[in-house]
Structure 1
Amino acid sequence: VRQMYREHLQDPETSKMPTLQTLYDLLCSQPEGEAVRLATALEIYVSGSLNVFNHETNVDLNRRLVCLDLKKLGAGLRTIAMLIMQDLVNSQVSMNFLRGIATWCYFDEFHVLLRDRLTASYCVAIWKMLRKKGCVPSALTQNVKDFLASPEIENIFENSDFLVLLSQAQGDRQILAKQLGISPHQLSY
């Protein structure tokens, strides 16, 4: 990995960011059995059906507004894509924090991130990290039942100072009242 990044770290402005292809090519040039095994394991992500991440990004991370869309990804890539996306968000928030820049993150259809156990637990961890770094994370969802079905949501609620709830269906109101301790009077709004 060090060898793969050596050129890029010497001149990050003009050199290309290494990709999985770079790592794969380096592993293939190594005679050790471990390198061959790693290259074989990477093959599906380099030239196989899961090669979607074997390219330079088309997202301009230097913009004031960055949108990451996972809608067109198949189910086989969704979990890894969500983890990569969350890691990228954490990195950007960390860089902004060091420069004294506040960041707002909006996670639309947040309940989708909570469906998978791995991404749900990572959501809780990243939610706490983002808040510590001066970020204002916002979780948006239309379906409260799906959202509250996740056992991890309680940890996110406990690490949130502010909730905005719009009008809800009767069944969802009862779930929210129980989960959040909302009084019958407050439910009338």
Structure 2
Amino acid sequence: MDVTEGNEKSTPEQPECFDDIRTYMRRNRKKTSTVWQELTIVKLPNRIEKVQCNHYIFKGTRQSFLPPQAPRSDSTSGIQTWRYDQAKIKEVISHMIMPHEFPFAFIEYELFTLLMKTASPHYVIISRATAKVDCWTSYEVEKKRLNELLTTVDKISITTDMWKSSQTIQYMVLTAHFVDSDWNLQKRILNFVDVPPPHNGVVVYDELYKCL
């Protein structure tokens, strides 16, 4: 409410607009650093804000900061070319689906498509059948990489563990533990099989022997 010469003038409140793009913009944080005790924000006539040192004695009309310089041709901070890679997108999506156990139809969801189109207008919608093939391809690629890695290892320690899924199905996971060439302890899952009860030592041994 504003008061002018004894007359009350009410200012209507502006309703919040949640679909305004400014809602998602970065908010200004409070300046908590001690360096701001030595600086002052100055607003110029053209409404541009600049920072001025409180200990700046000589105040001339020239700029007190270095002018921007064009990056050199060998500089990596300049503008770089970018190329959309649909194959890489499909690979990353397959690696997202498998560990999170997303359904293949996930990539056909309307909001997921909107997200990808917002990130890149070049995105081509992928079908659930294509996603299934991509997941299998990623599995085969990672399997080949693991086999190549294990050929460089001299000794491997194998452990087994029983897992239960959300459908109460019992699985046995086979894990390999080894030390790589850089002396870092590594572990990789070799197999994941359904093991019906009973889960005694003889049954676990038989399943382990089949996996090897």
Which TM-score applies when normalising by structure 2? Answer: 0.22
Say which one has the larger Rg: 2
**Between Structure 1 and Structure 2, which shows a larger proportion of strand residues?**
2
